[in-house]
Amino acid sequence: MKRAIALRHVAFEDLDGFAAPLARRGIEIAYCEAPTDDLGADTLLGADLLVVLGGPIGVYETRDYPFLGDEIALIERRLARNLPVLGLCLGAQLMAAALGARVYPAGFKEIGWAPIMLSASGERAPLAELDRRPVLHWHGDTFDLPAGAVHLASTARTANQAFAWERHGLALQFHVETTARGLERWYVGHTLEIAATEGVTVPALRTDAARHAAPLVEAGTRMLDAWLTPLGL
């Protein structure tokens, strides 16, 4: 059986809507707790798929969170060996850092549901499934496009929302894996960030999730399938 390991930074940001489609593909799922587990373990390099999940810290905060250096090194090693890596939000920023790009505060929070604009490359598989669909944005940092990466998507405020690294690396600054039910945990875990962000409220986020989350998870599943199938997963 093939195996996926998800690097998790906070308990409430997990694979959520991606867990079932991975299981349907016969992929066994395990979690690695990035702040406390051994990021140099052979199992992480040997996994068929590494999914790097989101979290409320910055890639550049290595002084406060030294495990980030080990996490970046792990991603760098996997990408150099052509081993599949999927990065979501913080995971995408960590992938950018592993590929030598700068990650830094955007100067604003992008939180809520809004469509992304696909590049010409993004309009092809696998991101074609997300065309004109609102996705969930939840970040205050951004990154430069790594040299050699293929730009896939943007928003009006954030130029680099997604990129591909050859066939085996896919980085999404936004979220396509979140379910309406799963987001109830986010509203609690991110309560201070929500309260501090002008124009963002839990009732509004919940209303938008009720409208957009289910069709997005369906589209996100098709996106995931379109990316994994050519990789033999």
Residues that are catalytic: 89, 175, 177
Rounded CA-CA distance 230/233 in Å is 7
Checking phi first, is residue 2 left (phi over 0); if not, alpha (psi -120 to 50) or beta? Answer: beta
Count other Cβ atoms within 10 Å, centred on residue 232. 8
> In DSSP terms, which residues pair with 28 in a beta bridge?
3
Joined together, the tokens standing for residue 106 give 């955007």
Q: Which residues contact 51 (CB under 8 A, 6 or more apart)?
A: 4, 5, 6, 7, 15, 18, 85, 86, 87, 88, 91
Neighbours of 225 (CB within 10 A): 16
In angstroms, rounded to a whole number, what is the distance separating the alpha carbons of residues 202 and 219? 24
Q: How far apart are CA 125 and CA 146, in angstroms?
A: 20
* Cis amide bond preceding 66, omega within 30: no
Give the separation between CA 18 and CA 22, rounded to whole angstroms. Answer: 6
3-class DSSP assignment, residue 121: coil
